[in-house]
């Protein structure tokens, strides 16, 4: 089925949607994005994604293309037009398309940001078979730039990381810098030891995950403590359980790290409980 997508004020069939070859994101990866999940036809954590988008834009001096209320309306309209019950909405804002390629930022008075949104229909997203089996990860060096807190479209290395994982016969990769895990290629990384969830603290080294914030808030409901600190692959390998979070995977158990099985090698009860709580609470608060 042809999707209806949104480009700069217009709802169009995906085959008719066009962006200039001079768009700064195409030439310079000069753009930011958000991925918001949809459950029961409603948006999960929209507020968090909108706030992070505003922060990403302001860190890069890109003007907001519209108000956050207008963005919410566009999200909802796309969900409706494409009949999305479960899936994701991808949003991208770029610095726009000047007349030519130039390293210098274009004048924001004449070059307006580009705004693109499209839906990804994923029936069964919440009831994912992967969550029942758990995923396997390898570790790779984190060679990304120093502002990973900004959600830019520079995704070449994360994409290469997924390919390294695929080549190694596993599902994903955790990135390691100076001996400590930063995050997954497109998710935040955690382990559980006893009653404690351990995950790296927020800084410019990692993306400030919206799912991360929610899960850490819900930890108390699962009678768990949270410790935000650096950790190594070895420590995670010796943990009881591990998991990742993101808008597209929610809470996803990790059952193997660099060939070492965690616990019984199946998803642990605490990660599964956190997934259940996250899904329940998020559905209740969806808009
Ligand atoms: N990725 N860390 C990185 C590097 C990410 O790319 C993502 C999200 C996260 C988790 O953030 P959140 O919980 O807000 O989704 C952490 C999205 C899903 C993607 O690129 O498709």
Name the residue among 62, 56, 64 with its Cα closest to residue 150. 56
**Residue with CA closest to ligand 1 atom 1:** 186
Question: Per-residue pLDDT tens for 165-213?
Answer: 999 999 999 999 999 999 999 999 999 999 999 999 999 999 999 999 9
What spacing in Å lies between the alpha carbon of 210 and ligand 1's midpoint?
A: 8
pLDDT at 284 over 80: yes
pLDDT tens for 46-55 read 999 999 999 9
Asked if residue 45 has its Cβ within 6 Å of ligand 1, the reply is: no
Burial of 180 (0-12, 13-18, 19+ CB in 10 A): middle
Bridge-based pairing of strands 188-193 and 196-199 is antiparallel
Phi, psi angles (nearest 5°) of residue 131: -70, -25
Task: Give the active site residues.
Answer: 151
Number of H helices, E strands in the chain: 8, 15
With a 6 A CB cut-off, is 200 part of the ligand 1 pocket? no
What is the residue with the minimal CA distance to atom 4 of ligand 1?
186
Task: Give how far the C-alpha of residue 90 lies from the chain's centroid of Cα atoms, to the nearest Å.
Answer: 10
Residue indicated by tokens 């085959």? 15
**Residue 183 Cα: closest atom of ligand 1:** 2
pLDDT at residue 205 in the model: 98
Q: Which helix (H) or strand (E) holds 183?
A: strand 180-184
List the structure tokens of 74.
């566009």
Which tokens hold the place of 88?
């994701």
Q: Which domains are seen in the chain, by residue range?
A: 4-121 (3.30.470.10), 129-285 (3.20.10.10)
Query: What Å distances lie between residue 34 and 50, 63, 164, 230, 270, CA to CA?
Result: 8, 16, 24, 26, 28
Instruction: Reduce the DSSP state of residue 273 to 3 states and report it.
Output: helix
Give residue-wise pLDDT tens across range 262-283: 988 999 999 999 999 999 999 9
Which H/E stretch holds residue 271?
Answer: helix 269-285
- CA of 212, closest atom in ligand 1: 13
Q: Which residue bears the tokens 């993306």?
A: 207
Name 199's bridge partners.
190, 228
Which sign does the torsion angle of CA 95, 117, 55, 147 carry? Answer: negative
CB atoms within 10 A of CB 280: 12
Judge if the beta carbon of residue 183 lies within 6 A of ligand 1. Answer: yes
Ligand 1 within 6 A of CB of 207:
yes
State pLDDT tens for residues 92-126.
999 999 999 999 999 999 999 999 999 999 999 99
**Per-residue pLDDT, 221:** 86
In sequence order, which residues have a C-beta less than 8 Å from that of residue 84 and are 6 or more positions away?
A: 38, 41, 78, 119, 121
């Amino acid at each position: 089925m042809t999707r209806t997508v949104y480009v700069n004020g217009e709802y169009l069939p995906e085959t008719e949607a066009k962006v200039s070859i001079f768009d700064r994101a195409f030439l310079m990866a000069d753009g930011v994005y958000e991925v918001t999940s949809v459950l029961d036809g409603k948006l999960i954590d929209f507020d968090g994604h909108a706030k992070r988008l505003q922060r990403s834009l302001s860190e890069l001096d890109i003007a907001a293309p519209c108000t956050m209320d207008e963005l919410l309306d566009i999200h909802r309209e796309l969900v409706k037009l494409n009949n999305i019950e479960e899936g994701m909405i991808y949003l991208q804002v770029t610095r726009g398309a000047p007349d030519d390629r130039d390293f210098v930022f274009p004048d924001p008075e004449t070059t307006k940001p580009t705004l693109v949104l499209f839906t990804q229909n994923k029936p069964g997203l919440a009831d994912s078979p992967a969550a029942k089996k758990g995923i396997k990860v390898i570790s790779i060096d984190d060679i990304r730039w120093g502002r990973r807190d900004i959600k830019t479209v520079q995704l070449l290395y994360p994409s290469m990381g997924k390919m390294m994982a695929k080549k190694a016969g596993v599902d994903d990769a955790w990135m390691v810098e100076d001996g400590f895990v930063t995050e997954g290629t497109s998710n935040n990384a955690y382990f559980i030891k006893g009653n404690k969830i351990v995950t790296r603290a927020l800084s410019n080294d990692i993306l400030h995950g919206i799912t991360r914030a929610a899960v850490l808030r819900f930890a108390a409901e699962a009678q768990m403590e949270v410790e935000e600190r650096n950790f190594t692959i070895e420590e995670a390998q010796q943990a009881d359980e591990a998991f990742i979070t993101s808008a597209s995977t929610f809470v996803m158990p990790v059952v193997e790290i660099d060939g070492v099985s965690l616990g019984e090698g199946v998803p642990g009860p605490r990660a599964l409980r956190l997934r259940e709580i996250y899904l329940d609470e998020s559905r209740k608060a969806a808009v």
